[in-house]
Amino acid sequence: MSIRTKLIKFLECPDTVIAKFRGIRPDHAYYLSTIKTAADKKFKTIIDVGASSMLYSEAAHYYYPEAQIYAFEPVPKKMDKLNNCKWLKLFPIGLWNSNGRANLNIPRNEDLDDCSSFLEFGNEGFIKGIYEKTESKIDYDKVNVERKRFDSLDIDIKSPCLLKIDTEGSEIFVLKGFGSKLKEIDVIQLEVNFQENQKGQTKISELISYLELYGFIGFIQKTLRYGENGYPNHCDLIFFRKN
C-alpha cells in the first residue's frame, strides 16, 4: 500500500489509527469505520461469511461490542481462534444457495489460506500479485465440506444487521441462500472481482440487479486494486438497504 493511499485512508477514517494500536487490522478498521459513519446504526447482529482467521469478526466486535456475531468458515483449521467468546458463534460450514456437500479448493501454501474457494482459480496472476512469495504454480487440495443455505439455519436476526461476505467469487450463491432473510439485512459489505480470478465468479452486474430486488439502492466502493495488466481487478462494495 502506497504512502498516498495510507494518507487518504487516514484522512477519511482517522479512528483507524487507534484501532490499529489495539490490534485491529487496518483494512477491516477502514471498512467498518466507513460503515459506522455512513450507516449511523448500532448493529445488533453481524454475519461474517468467509471469516478466515476471524480478524474481521474481531474488528467488528471492536466497533460494535454489543452485537452478536455469527461467523462462517469451512476451512477446518481456521475455527480454533476465538472459540470461547460469548459474543461470537462459529459455524464450520460454507454458505451457498443449496444444502449439501462440495469440494473446497484450499491452496497448500499457508500464505494463500484467504484465497480458498468453492470455485476453481481462473487467474493465478491475481494471487501471485498479492502474495509475492507465491511459487510459479499454485497447488491446492480439494476438501469436502458441508454447505448450507442461511435461511435453513435457526438464526434469529436482530435488527439492525450487517452482513459481510468474502467468498472468493461466489458471493451471489451466498446471497441467494439467504432467501427472504435478505430483507432483514441493513448493510452488506462484499468483495467483487472484475477480472476472472475464479472460474464462474459473480459479476458486479449480477450483484447490483439481485440486491435491488431486496431494496438495496446504492453502494460505496472501497479499496480498488489493479491487476498486473493495469486494469481494475477487485474492490469492496458496501451496499445500503432503503429503510
The full DSSP string for the chain is: --HHHHHHHHHH-THHHHHHHTT--HHHHHHHHHHHHHH----SEEEEES-TTSHHHHHHHHH-TT-EEEEE---GGGSSTTTT-TTEEEE-SEE-SS-EEEEEEEESSGGGGGG-BSSPBS-HHHHHHH-TT--SS--EEEEEEEEE-GGGS---PPSSEEEEE--TT-HHHHHHTTGGGGGG--EEEEEEESS-SBTTPPPHHHHHHHHHTTTEEEEEEEEEEE-TTSSEEEEEEEEEE--
Output the pLDDT for position 10: 54
Q: What percent of the chain is modeled with pLDDT above 70?
A: 82
**pLDDT of the residue at 26:** 86
9 has a pLDDT exceeding 70: no
Q: In what order do the strands lie in the sheet with 100-107?
A: 94-95, 140-148, 100-107
Amino acid 73 reads E
Query: What is the structure's pLDDT at 213?
Result: 96
Q: Which amino acid, one-letter code, is at 166? A: D
Give residue 78's pLDDT band: very low, low, confident or very high (50, 70, 90).
Answer: low
**Of the ranges 25-29, 113-117, 144-148, which one carries the lowest mean pLDDT score?**
113-117
Q: Is the pLDDT assigned to residue 225 strictly greater than 90?
A: no
Look at residue 152 and tell me whether its pLDDT is greater than 90.
Answer: yes
The answer to whether residue 19 scores a pLDDT higher than 90 is no
Q: Is the pLDDT of residue 226 over 90?
A: no
Q: What is the pLDDT of residue 12?
A: 64
> Alpha-carbon distance 3 to 13, whole Å?
15
pLDDT value at position 124? 57
Is the per-residue pLDDT at 243 higher than 80? Answer: no
Structural Rg of the chain based on CA atoms = 17
Partners of residue 240 on adjacent β-strands = 187, 218
* CATH number for region 3-96+157-194+201-241: 3.40.50.150
Higher pLDDT, 234 or 145: 145
* 142 or 150, higher pLDDT: 150
pLDDT for 156 beyond 70? yes
Residue 183 has pLDDT above 90, yes or no: yes
**Mean pLDDT of the region 15-30:** 80
In this prediction, residue 140 carries a pLDDT of 80
